């Protein structure tokens, strides 16, 4: 009987079980762990600069970096959430006012006439009633989501402070932690370094590119709506910025329906201005995304789009980073396999 084999089998079995339990224990905090990791990667150059400024005092430098991120990143988002909450509630109330409902008939009647001319039978007031029902349901959903976003629930507060806590140690001990992982993993130094730098490269490019594109597209879309006199531009601008996370969508989802309403209502100049806004935001996406995202990630635009959509579907909001990271690591693993395979074939002649 080979006792060494039995001991190794038992050890690796227990190792797998305890590792599974460990990750299961931490799984409920996966979101703050993920965002602490992402923020540490994105803002590590800032930490390095502050570390030099404070003469290699790691704890102090990490604390100062976290405070800067808190002021520049978290607090503005939380403040924006409160403003959006108020605007969404006002928007929902406006839609329930009698004069707003009556104004819908201005464009619903021509639409019914046009549909009837194409053989699609519509009763008088059908478009109006369906449109009002649809808009009310959408606005109620937006208001509800905005209120939920604005509420500081216990879980949200806990996740927030865990993220900051982990971010502090990610700056302070992150390099040493990565070196320890590199020593433990049996992949080989060359492969580990390639995977690590690929991971960092993808996270930085996706995070940087997505937020820059979202901000620019949301701002341009909001300014376009402001020019034509559409109210609640903060709400619409934020919605357009969020939709910009998904490639090939963005502001067009918001601007196109409003453009159609203005066109049917006879407001042709305003409709043309919105069409110009749609063209500009689409061009910005087509120009900026390959430069800020595709160039650094070295992935095709189609792969990025599918990975973002898949990530959002499986992991929620965090998926816009997780999806492309998984896709990028998939490509990197197979490229490493290809290199090793070609090297082995070459060595064997």
**pLDDT tens string 170-213:** 998 888 887 887 777 777 777 777 888 888 888 888 887 788 88
Closest CA to 278 of 30, 16, 270, 187: 270
For the chain, the distance separating the N- and C-terminal CA atoms, rounded to the nearest angstrom, is 42
pLDDT at 50: 92
Q: What pTM value is reported for the model?
A: 0.70
Cβ-based neighbour number of residue 277 at 10 Å:
24
Give residue 263's Cα distance to chain centre. Answer: 32
63 band by pLDDT with thresholds 50, 70 and 90: very high
Give mean pLDDT, residues 82-95: 67
Range of lowest pLDDT (51-55, 172-176, 242-246): 242-246
Q: How far apart are CA 144 and CA 138, in angstroms?
A: 10
Would you say residue 149 has pLDDT above 60?
no
Q: How far apart are CA 227 and CA 257, in angstroms?
A: 17
Q: How far apart are CA 191 and CA 281, in angstroms?
A: 40
pLDDT at 99: 47
Specify whether the CB–CB gap between 265 and 256 falls below 8 A.
Answer: no
Percentage of residues in the chain with pLDDT exceeding 70? 74
Q: Give me 220's structure tokens.
A: 């341009």
What residues contact residue 242 under an 8 Å CB cut-off, 6+ apart? 214, 218
């Amino acid at each position: 009987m080979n006792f060494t084999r039995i001991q190794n089998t038992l050890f690796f079995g227990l190792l797998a079980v305890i590792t599974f339990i460990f990750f299961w224990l931490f799984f409920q905090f996966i979101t703050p762990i993920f965002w602490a990791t992402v923020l540490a990667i994105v803002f590590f150059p800032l930490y390095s600069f502050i570390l030099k400024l404070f003469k290699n005092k790691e704890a102090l430098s990490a604390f100062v970096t976290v405070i800067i991120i808190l002021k520049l990143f978290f607090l503005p988002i939380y403040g924006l959430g409160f403003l959006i909450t108020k605007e969404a509630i006002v928007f929902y109330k406006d839609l329930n006012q009698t004069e707003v409902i009556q104004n819908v008939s201005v464009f619903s009647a021509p639409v019914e006439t046009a549909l009837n001319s194409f053989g699609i039978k519509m009763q008088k007031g059908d478009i109006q009633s369906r449109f009002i029902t649809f808009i009310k349901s959408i606005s109620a959903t937006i208001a509800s989501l905005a209120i939920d976003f604005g509420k500081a629930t216990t879980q949200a507060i806990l996740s927030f402070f865990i993220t900051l806590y982990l971010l502090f140690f990610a700056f302070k001990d992150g390099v040493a932690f990565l070196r320890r992982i590199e020593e433990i993993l049996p992949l080989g130094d060359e492969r580990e370094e390639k995977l690590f730098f690929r991971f960092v490269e993808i996270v930085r490019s996706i995070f940087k590119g997505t937020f820059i594109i979202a901000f620019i597209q949301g701002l341009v879309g909001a300014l376009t709506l402001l020019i034509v006199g559409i109210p609640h531009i903060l709400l619409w601008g934020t919605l357009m910025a969020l939709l910009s996370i998904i490639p090939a969508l963005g502001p067009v989802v918001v601007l196109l329906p409003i453009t159609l309403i203005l066109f049917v209502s006879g407001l042709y100049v305003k409709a043309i201005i919105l069409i110009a806004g749609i063209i500009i935001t689409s061009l910005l996406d087509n120009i900026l995304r390959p430069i800020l995202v595709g160039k650094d990630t070295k992935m095709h635009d189609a792969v990025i789009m599918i990975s973002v959509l898949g990530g959002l579907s499986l992991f929620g909001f965090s998926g816009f980073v997780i999806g492309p990271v998984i896709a990028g690591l998939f490509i990197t693993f197979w490229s490493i396999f290809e290199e090793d395979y070609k090297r082995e074939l070459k060595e064997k002649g």
